[in-house]
Amino acid sequence: MDWRIFVALRYLTAKRKEKFISIISTISILGVAVGVAALIIVIAVMSGFDADLKDKIIGTTAHIEITSDYGVAPSGELLKKILDTEHVASASFFLNGQALIRHNENVSGIIVKGIDPAGEMRTSKINQYIKEGSLDLAKDGIIVGEELANKLKLKLGEVVSVITPAYVEGKGLKVRGIFRSGMYDYDMNLAYVSIAKAEELLAAKGLVSGLSVRIDDVFHVTKTRRVLQEKLGFPYIVRTWLDSNRNLLEALKLEKTAMFIILALIVMVACFNIASSLVMTVLEKTKDIGILKAIGSGRRDIMLIFAMEGSIIGMAGTIFGASFGIFICSLLKKYKFITLPADIYYIDKLPVRLELADISIIVVSSFVISILATIYPSYRASRLDPVEALRYE
């Protein structure tokens, strides 16, 4: 073992005349640990929220939507042109429109989405979200979200009245299924009917809203959007799920960055304690520093001794905090014992996602801040004159 490391460990673990210095060192370790643990837990929750939200958005909407301000005339030629594009896995037509849905005395505004069930199952995860019934839209079938069903006090098999400008008195439809995507807005405001029934309800006259497109790799979504826009041209508008939710995703990214900076201040405060502890250690070990210099130790050696002492404190706090943070995240991920109001946060469970990159950045940042906190006290110790240190000994 290098003698400087040995001396640093001795200074750190040996009994001190001033017990207050040991208390400060302990507080420094705990402070760094709390800061690192808080960072890991909060960033893991925000990463989980981000990933869960993206998964639910992609599950209820397609990777890419192709629309037109003038409506889209469904044709096999248009569908083939889209399917022949690289990375496009599937596509299907859809028709959206606003309507009112009524059951007994309960009324709510909804978005009616006309789909081809077979095509929709290839472009979204709607079939996986069906909790009751099935995706059966034959004849007068309708699929509603769980939140909407609760609001209207609906049960499977009951008949609801859908009111549109074409049916001001309402059109009776039978509830064939209830879905739960986990996204409050979708579960409350979206209902599925067959595309033929949507054309009837909305008086669409052979036009649809557009096409839902699913690609084989979500990482190619931007490139595929650009290719499709060039291939289709005017009057088609090609949007990805990223474009449609850009404000929300940017807000999440900004919040994650802001939380990292704010919580990193906890680690910085703890590192000020490390600096204070080292300053007091230097004052206590003035005679020892003088002796070390007198027997030939250089300024660099003295500086390294105290820098290593502070670094060990920072490393101990970082390792303890990281271990505790990962442990808490594992519990949250496994047991999901924290619930959230779905109408505010879109999801009902606190999501957790531990990412190696995030943990690495937090651990490295904590260690670097700890090292920076040791620079000044170590430098002052290295500048100590051995004659002055031993004058009164």
Taking a C-beta distance cutoff of 8 angstroms, is the pair 147, 136 a contact? Answer: no
Give the structural domain span for 371.
3-57+248-390
Residue 96 and residue 39 share a domain: no
Residues with Cβ < 8 Å from 106, sequence gap 6 or more?
A: 151, 152, 153
Out of 194, 215, 236, a domain closes at 215
Residue 385 and residue 262 share a domain: yes
Residues paired with residue 162 on neighbouring β-strands, in sequence order: 101, 171
What pLDDT, on the 0 to 100 scale, is given for residue 278?
77
Whether 243 has a pLDDT exceeding 90, the answer reads no
Summarised one tens digit per residue, pLDDT across range 306-330 is 788 888 888 889 999 999 999 999 9
Whether 284 has a pLDDT exceeding 90, the answer reads no
Whether 68 has a pLDDT exceeding 60, the answer reads yes
pLDDT band at 344 (very low <50, low <70, confident <90, very high): low
What pLDDT, on the 0 to 100 scale, is given for residue 194?
92
Out of 193, 215, 237, a domain closes at 215
Whether 289 has a pLDDT exceeding 60, the answer reads yes
What pLDDT, on the 0 to 100 scale, is given for residue 173?
93
279 against 16, higher pLDDT = 279
Residue 202 and residue 252 share a domain: no
Whether 150 has a pLDDT exceeding 70, the answer reads yes
pLDDT band at 17 (very low <50, low <70, confident <90, very high): low
Work out the end-to-end distance of the chain between its first and last CA atoms, rounded to an integer number of angstroms.
30
What pLDDT, on the 0 to 100 scale, is given for residue 12?
65
Mean local confidence (pLDDT), 197-224: 89
Out of 191, 215, 239, a domain closes at 215
Residues 340, 356: Cα–Cα separation, whole Å: 26
The most confident of 157-161, 180-184, 291-295, by mean pLDDT: 157-161
What is the identity of the amino acid at 382? S
Residue 327 and residue 267 share a domain: yes
Residues with Cβ < 8 Å from 370, sequence gap 6 or more?
A: 32, 271, 274, 310, 311, 313, 314, 315, 317, 318
Residue 264 and residue 303 share a domain: yes
Angle at 278 between CA 277 and CA 280, to 5 degrees: 70
Residue 366 and residue 300 share a domain: yes
| Average pLDDT of the chain, as a whole number | 84
Residue 196 and residue 149 share a domain: yes
322 lies in some domain: yes
Residues 237, 84: Cα–Cα separation, whole Å: 18
Whether 11 has a pLDDT exceeding 70, the answer reads no
Mean local confidence (pLDDT), 274-282: 76
225 lies in some domain: no
65 lies in some domain: no
40 lies in some domain: yes
Whether 335 has a pLDDT exceeding 90, the answer reads no
What pLDDT, on the 0 to 100 scale, is given for residue 314?
86
pLDDT band at 387 (very low <50, low <70, confident <90, very high): low
pTM of the model: 0.76
What pLDDT, on the 0 to 100 scale, is given for residue 297?
72
Burial of 156 (0-12, 13-18, 19+ CB in 10 A): middle
78 lies in some domain: no
As for how many domains the chain has, the answer is 2
Summarised one tens digit per residue, pLDDT across range 347-379 is 667 888 999 999 999 999 888 888 888 888 888
118 lies in some domain: yes
What pLDDT, on the 0 to 100 scale, is given for residue 9?
66
Residues with Cβ < 8 Å from 319, sequence gap 6 or more?
A: none
Residue 53 and residue 115 share a domain: no
144 lies in some domain: yes
254 lies in some domain: yes
Summarised one tens digit per residue, pLDDT across range 96-140 is 999 999 998 899 999 999 998 888 888 888 888 899 988 888 888
Residue 386 and residue 270 share a domain: yes
Half-sphere exposure of 390 (CA within 13 A, CB side): 11
What pLDDT, on the 0 to 100 scale, is given for residue 3?
66
Residue 44 and residue 157 share a domain: no
Percent of the chain at pLDDT exceeding 90: 33
Residue 252 and residue 379 share a domain: yes
SS (H, E, C) the chain: CCHHHHHHHHHHHCCCCCHHHHHHHHHHHHHHHHHHHHHHHHHHHHHHHHHHHHHHHHHHCCCEEEEEEEEECCCHHHHHHHHCCCCEEEEEEEEEEEEEEEECCEEEEEEEEEECHHHHHHHCCHHHHEEEECCCCCCCEEEEEHHHHHHHCCCCCCEEEEEECCEEEEEEEEEEEEECCCCHHHHHHEEEEEHHHHHHHHCCCCCEEEEEEEECCHHHHHHHHHHHHHHHCCCEEEEEHHHHCHHHHHHHHHHHHHHHHHHHHHHHHHHHHHHHHHHHHHHHCHHHHHHHHHCCCCHHHHHHHHHHHHHHHHHHHHHHHHHHHHHHHHHHHHHCCCECCHHHHCCCECCCCCCHHHHHHHHHHHHHHHHHHHHHHHHHHHCCCHHHHHCCC
pLDDT band at 336 (very low <50, low <70, confident <90, very high): confident
What pLDDT, on the 0 to 100 scale, is given for residue 390?
55
Residue 384 and residue 256 share a domain: yes
What pLDDT, on the 0 to 100 scale, is given for residue 114?
92
